[in-house]
Every structure is written in structure tokens, then in C-alpha cells.
Chain A
Amino acid sequence: MSVLAAIRPDDWNIALFVHVAGAMALFGSLVLVATALAGSDLRLGYRALLIGAIPSWIVMRVGAQWIASKEHVDDIDPAPAWVGIGYGTSEGSFLLLIIATVCAGVAARRVRGGGLRTTTLVLVGISLVAYVVAIWAMATKPS
């Protein structure tokens, strides 16, 4: 099944490109946030969340919906597990990203980030683990 999925109709490719490029930018932005916060650079961490991670999430999610509509995976009942994992991780992580951005923004205005820096790091860490699971689901497509 996965091998068949590797060769797809040409008109699906642009949607898949948008989805994957957004996901890659999102993942990269979150690693930038994590390393910046670990090095106590709160301002860089906050800006990477606001300018990098959240817009990338939107691009990734729009691409996901676009490719899902082309593949008609939303019409399958029950939905395949990998689709559920994809929607679950993306939508759940968006809430975490919003909270992390607010925490990082407040922490960046203080001299010491303290608990807010740690909270942001934990939220970003959870999101990164969720995205690795999502990449696994997209690659292996468990039914």
C-alpha cells in the first residue's frame, strides 16, 4: 500500500509539497525555539514561535486539508488511523503553540523567564515529540 502511495497522480503533488514544506518549516522553527530557550535567549525563542512556528503550522494545516480533499480521505468511514493521528497531533499541538507563544512573549518582557521559560520549553518539547509521531504515521500509514 505504501509503495503504491509513493506514486500518486500529478495533480496531488503541489498540495503535498505545501503540506511537507510547511511541516518541515514548523519542525525546524520549534527546534530553533527549543535551542534558543535552552540558551536563555527568550527574545529569539518568542520570535521564532510567532514568526516561524505559527505561520508554518498554518501552511502545513492548509496543505494537509488540500491533499486530504484530493485523496478524499475524509470520505472514508471509519477514517484510517494515520489520518486521525495527523489531525489529532496538528490540532492539539496548535493549542500548545498558542500557549507557548503567550508564555514566551511574557517571559521575554521579564529580566528572568523562570517558570514561563520552562513551561514554553516543555510545551515545545511535547509538540516536537507529537510531530515525530505524526511523521511516523504519515510514512507508515497504519490502518
Chain B
Amino acid sequence: MYDWLLFLHLIAAFLLAVTVVVYSAVALGAAAPGRTLFVADRCWDVGGLGTLLLGIWLALYLDEYDFFDGWIIGAIVLWFVATGLGQSLQRRTPAGESAQVAAMHWLRTLVVLGLLVLMIWKPGA
């Protein structure tokens, strides 16, 4: 059970990486087709929901971790920040606000990297 939860949690995290890479290409000046942005946005939706739900499930499933551990609370806060930035990006990208889109994208990328750091170092666990 734990193995499959972790596998699906990782797959969800890799879907978030798809979005980060695609929007990085856009922020660096690539003219990504609409289909590519559509896939990236759906990966963000599915990956975001998957990482949160499966992450909470993992935290509740394992005796080693407590839901109120600092690193888990920190990850949930970062998840909400990243989700807010992602929703804003999805609204602004079609409007062609390229400067704001790039700035928000790089901020979201830093937040996602912060999430990865928390997942690996697990400070306080």
C-alpha cells in the first residue's frame, strides 16, 4: 500500500514538473502551441491535486510522520502558494501578459523547488 501511494505521489510530482518545464520554455521565449499549454495546465491540475491528496494520505498512513509536523505544514502552505500562482498563470497566459507571466512562472518554479527540498530533507522528521 505504502509503495503504491508513494509511486502515485511521485507521478503527480512529475506532472507538476511537466508544467514547470513547459512554462519555462514559454518564459524563455518559445512560442508553445495551444495544445502544449493545454497539456501543461492539465498536468498542473492533476499533479497538484494528486500531490496534495496522496501526500496527506501518506502522512496519515505512516506512523513515522505526523500530519502537524513542521515540514508537512510547510509543504501544504507552499502547495497553496504554488496553486494560487498556477491559477493566476493560467488566466494571464492567454491574455499575453508576458512580463507578468514570466515573473510569476519563475516564482512558482522556486516554490516547487522549495517543495522538493522539503520532501527530501524533511526538516524535523
Say whether B2 contacts A136, CB under 8 Å. Answer: no
Say whether A44 contacts B120, CB under 8 Å. Answer: no
The yes or no answer to A85 lying at the interface (CB within 8 A) is: no
The yes or no answer to B95 lying at the interface (CB within 8 A) is: no
Say whether A36 contacts B20, CB under 8 Å. Answer: no
Q: Which residues of B contact A17 (CB under 8 A)?
A: 116-117, 120
Give 25 CB contacts A-B under 8 Å.
Answer: A3-B2, A6-B64, A16-B120, A21-B113, A24-B13, A25-B17, A27-B18, A28-B20, A28-B21, A29-B21, A31-B22, A32-B21, A36-B32, A38-B35, A39-B35, A41-B36, A44-B25, A44-B30, A44-B31, A52-B21, A135-B11, A135-B14, A136-B7, A139-B7, A140-B7
Number of interface residues of A (CB under 8 A): 34
Contact of B33 (CB < 8 Å), options: A27, A41, A52: A41
Q: Which residues of A contact B117 (CB under 8 A)?
A: 17
**CB within 8 Å of A: which residues of B?**
2-4, 6-7, 10-11, 13-14, 17-22, 25, 30-33, 35-36, 39-40, 43, 62, 64, 113, 116-117, 120-122, 125
Say whether B17 contacts A7, CB under 8 Å. Answer: no
Q: Which residues of A contact B19 (CB under 8 A)?
A: 28
Say whether B21 contacts A36, CB under 8 Å. Answer: no
Closest 5 pairs (CB-CB, A-B)? A28-B21, A24-B17, A140-B3, A139-B7, A39-B33
Distance, CA A140 to CA B3, complexed state (A): 5
Q: Which residues of B contact A25 (CB under 8 A)?
A: 17, 21
Q: Which residues of A contact B32 (CB under 8 A)?
A: 32, 36, 41, 44
The yes or no answer to A69 lying at the interface (CB within 8 A) is: no
Say whether B6 contacts A2, CB under 8 Å. Answer: yes
Distance, CA A139 to CA B14, complexed state (A): 13
Distance, CA A44 to CA B22, complexed state (A): 11
Distance, CA A52 to CA B24, complexed state (A): 10
Interchain nearest-CB distance for A29 vs B (Å)? 5
Say whether B35 contacts A139, CB under 8 Å. Answer: no
Q: Which residues of B contact A20 (CB under 8 A)?
A: 116, 120
Interchain nearest-CB distance for B7 vs A (Å)? 4
A2-B2 contact in complex given A13-B121, A139-B10, C-beta closer than 8 Å = yes
Distance, CA A66 to CA B113, complexed state (A): 20
Which chain A residues in 126-143 approach chain B with CB under 8 Å? 132, 135-136, 138-141
The chain B residue with its CB closest to the CB of A29 is: B21
